[in-house]
């Protein structure tokens, strides 16, 4: 059901369509583990003021240094062939490296300005041209590309706006239980398995969906206390557009919440081998929306061990109205 709906009645057609989407994603995605490389870097950057390279580039997660690629394609009704190109950032030399297929390698020196996008851990900004390339009239710009949430999503999902350095200092990424997951749309979302190691451990694993104005990193201490109190493992994760996912350029949305919890559940049951009957879905505040959505899906409704809702919401629309003083 849609938790952005103003009605409390479930939409059977929406549920059936979501079930079909979930089933297809499960079938096509045997593993949900994503590379944990280049955390905090935007997945797309835009280059301007450099002829032959002006375009949007996608981050290659498998490369050892931050490297972005422009795929070869045909433009202008098939009359112009745009070759493949890559740009990579040499962090040691503080230098961008531009490489076009079959062409020369061009280098750009350190940033002209330190006005780097705080939402992006990577080296976005203005770059001075080399003296040997002084024919380039303007400084080269490398800009992080961020999706913007819809008006309703912007009100419904007031996500924390910390910089990557703030998250890194929390130490969550150094935890052995930390992982990055792929959703069915190839977005990356972070997850953290907090294990309970006591002799009185219960066989369950809780999938914890956080509330509004929170994220997985800020909830790490709460999740540890929950694991200790329940005497079982707890898997926490972030919605698309929160924390590391936001820094990669993704915006929060209702469907993004569904894709994220599907990825967390798939990671738990497929990659970690936890039996569905030992899975407890726990939704806090707005996290109750994706929790109920997954619990009512075909893959879970008759198999999971249980559902817990803390301060569950009836409708995110009503939450928005209350925030705006209309409720």
DSSP 244-302: HHHHTTPPP-HHHHHHHHHHHHHIIIIIS---GGGEEEEEEGGGHHHHHHHHTSTTTTT
Alpha-carbon distance of 318 to 322, in angstroms, equals: 6
> What does the pLDDT average to over 65-91?
80
Among 76-80, 157-161, 172-176, 224-228, the least confident range: 76-80
Q: Does 236 score more than 90 pLDDT?
A: yes
Q: What's the half-sphere exposure (Cβ side, CA atoms, 13 Å) at 6?
A: 7
pLDDT at position 23 = 52
Q: What's the half-sphere exposure (Cβ side, CA atoms, 13 Å) at 185?
A: 13
Domains of the chain, first to last = 12-37+150-323 (3.40.50), 44-144 (no CATH)
> What does the pLDDT average to over 275-304?
94
**Residue 10's Cα: distance from chain center in Å?**
27
Beta bridge partners of 90: 95
Among 121-125, 197-201, 255-259, 282-286, the least confident range: 121-125
pLDDT at position 10 = 45
- Reported residue count of the chain is 327
Alpha-carbon distance of 46 to 68, in angstroms, equals: 10
| 226 within 8 A of 253, measured Cβ to Cβ | no
Alpha-carbon distance of 214 to 21, in angstroms, equals: 27
Max mean pLDDT range (82-86, 173-177, 310-314): 173-177
| 103 within 8 A of 76, measured Cβ to Cβ | no
Per-residue pLDDT reduced to its tens digit, 188-201: 999 999 999 999 99
> What does the pLDDT average to over 231-258?
96
| 183 within 8 A of 252, measured Cβ to Cβ | no
Q: Which two tokens stand for residue 240?
A: 């698309």
Q: Which residue bears the tokens 């990356």?
A: 188
State the pLDDT confidence band at 77, using cuts at 50, 70 and 90. Answer: low
Beta bridge partners of 86: 69, 99
Q: Which residue bears the tokens 């750009």?
A: 108
Instruction: Compute the chain's Rg from CA coordinates.
Output: 22
Q: Which two tokens stand for residue 90?
A: 């040499």
């Amino acid at each position: 059901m849609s938790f952005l709906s103003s009605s409390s009645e479930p939409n059977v057609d929406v549920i059936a369509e979501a079930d079909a989407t979930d089933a297809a994603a499960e079938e096509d995605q045997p593993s949900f583990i994503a590379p944990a490389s280049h955390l905090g870097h935007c997945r797309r950057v835009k280059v301007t003021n450099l002829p032959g390279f002006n375009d949007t580039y996608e981050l290659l997660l498998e490369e050892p240094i931050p490297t972005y690629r422009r795929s070869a394609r045909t433009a202008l009704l098939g009359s112009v062939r745009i070759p493949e190109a890559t740009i990579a950032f040499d962090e040691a030399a503080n230098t961008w490296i531009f490489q076009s297929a079959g062409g020369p390698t061009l280098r750009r020196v350190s940033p002209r300005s330190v006005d780097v996008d705080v939402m992006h851990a990577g080296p976005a900004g203005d770059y001075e041209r080399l003296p040997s390339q002084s024919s380039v009239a303007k400084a080269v710009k490398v800009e992080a590309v961020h999706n913007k949430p819809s008006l309703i999503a912007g009100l419904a999902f007031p996500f924390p706006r910390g910089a990557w350095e703030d998250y890194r200092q929390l130490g969550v990424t150094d935890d052995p239980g930390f992982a990055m997951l792929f959703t069915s749309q190839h977005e990356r979302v972070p997850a953290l398995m907090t294990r309970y190691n006591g002799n009185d451990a219960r066989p369950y694993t809780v999938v914890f969906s956080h509330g509004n104005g929170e994220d997985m990193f800020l909830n790490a201490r709460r999740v540890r206390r929950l694991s200790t109190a329940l005497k079982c493992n707890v898997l926490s994760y972030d919605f698309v557009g929160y924390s590391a996912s936001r820094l990669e350029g993704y915006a929060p949305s209702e469907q993004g919440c569904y894709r994220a919890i599907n990825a967390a559940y798939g990671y738990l049951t497929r990659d970690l081998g936890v039996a569905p009957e030992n899975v407890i879905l726990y939704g806090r505040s707005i996290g109750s929306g994706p929790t109920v959505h997954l619990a009512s899906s075909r893959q879970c409704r008759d198999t999971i061990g249980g559902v817990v809702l803390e301060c569950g919401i009836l409708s995110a629309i009503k939450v928005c109205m209350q925030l705006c003083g209309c409720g």
